[in-house]
Homo-oligomer: A and B are copies of this chain.
Amino acid sequence: MSQTVDRALSILPLLAEGPADLGQVADRLGVHKSTALRLLRTLHEHGLVYRQSDQRYRLGARLFALAQEAMENLDVREIAHPHLVRLNESCGHTVHLAVYEENEVLYIDKVESRYPVRMYSRIGKPVAITVAAVAKLLLADLPEHERRAVAEKLDYPAYTARSTPSATAFLRELEKVREQGWATDLGGHEESINCVAAPIRGADGRVVAAMSVSAPNVVVTADELLTLLPLVRRTADAISGEYSGRTPVKGTE
């Protein structure tokens, strides 16, 4: 692996925290200012880094464009979207779509609740991996050793009293989820919010994404939310069918 590139790329997350000047960047990289300058220049030429009027550096527009493209390359998203919208129309709650990648679970699509009380989340934001229903489904599908490895590397923050407390508890939960083919999060992240989720599978049966419906207690109780499970699973299966090319897609051509 390349030292120079490694250093250069380390600058990006650093700048994501907020603008920084040359000295700060050099310090946090542990290199000489002149070195940092040259790295920043290179990043700048590629548009990943931008220099604002006070001379400080921040992430540049090119990065946003790339992120956009990366998103568009995820074709599950494209296929799933109309289904998510339809589900949202029929139940009214917030619908999420998430994928697993490199020890993280990320929301890649979201359809907002039609109720005034909304839950906070944002596309691109990493999910609370130890408690979210979608995360459970995605991790439960990993090969056994990998699953164990990931579970043991994670932190288990106690967001609420119902948060997953430890790696062993998490692995047990994953086993359960794996068998039943769906997952829930009942107040594990935020006291008053519940989710039910179902997996989306590719042609080989592997889970490629997971979707969930979330709603706060004040709108529907956990039990009421659970009655939506069949609908959520049907939707996920429909997406799976289309994604794996089993279901003929009606429409153009």
Question: Once the chains bind, are A42 and B5 in contact (CB under 8 Å)?
Answer: yes
Q: Report how far A179 CA is from B204 CA in the complex, Å.
A: 42
Question: Once the chains bind, are B101 and A73 in contact (CB under 8 Å)?
Answer: no
Instruction: Say whether, besides A4-B5, A242-B52, A63 and B61 are in contact (CB < 8 Å).
Output: no
How many copies the complex holds: the figure is 2
Instruction: Say whether, besides A50-B245, A68-B125, A61 and B16 are in contact (CB < 8 Å).
Output: no
Q: Report how far A42 CA is from B249 CA in the complex, Å.
A: 13
Residues of chain B with a CB closer than 8 A to A45's CB = 1, 6, 249
Interface string of A161-205 (1 = CB under 8 A from B): 000000000000000000000000000000000000000000110
Q: Report how far A60 CA is from B2 CA in the complex, Å.
A: 18
A111 at the interface (CB under 8 A from B): no
Residues of chain B with a CB closer than 8 A to A64's CB = 67, 70-71, 106, 108, 123-124, 203-204, 244-245
Interface of A is mostly: mixed
Which of A7-15, A22-30, A221-229 binds B? A7-15
Q: How far is the CB of A197 from chain B (nearest CB, A)?
A: 19
Q: Report how far A73 CA is from B65 CA in the complex, Å.
A: 16
A92 at the interface (CB under 8 A from B): no
Interface residues on chain A, number (Cβ under 8 Å): 70
Question: Once the chains bind, are B66 and A13 in contact (CB under 8 Å)?
Answer: yes
Question: Once the chains bind, are B65 and A102 in contact (CB under 8 Å)?
Answer: no
Question: Once the chains bind, are B59 and A69 in contact (CB under 8 Å)?
Answer: yes
A90 at the interface (CB under 8 A from B): no
11 new A-B contacts, CB < 8 A, other than A5-B5, A58-B70, are A8-B9, A9-B48, A12-B48, A19-B73, A50-B246, A59-B67, A60-B245, A60-B246, A61-B102, A62-B102, A63-B67
25 intermolecular pairs with C-beta atoms under 8 Å apart: A1-B41, A2-B39, A4-B5, A5-B43, A6-B46, A8-B8, A9-B48, A10-B46, A12-B48, A16-B66, A16-B73, A50-B101, A51-B251, A53-B82, A59-B66, A61-B102, A61-B245, A62-B101, A63-B67, A63-B245, A64-B124, A64-B244, A65-B125, A67-B68, A68-B122
Give the 8 A-B residue pairs with the shortest CB-CB distance, closest first. Answer: A61-B246, A64-B124, A59-B70, A50-B245, A68-B124, A67-B67, A16-B69, A60-B245
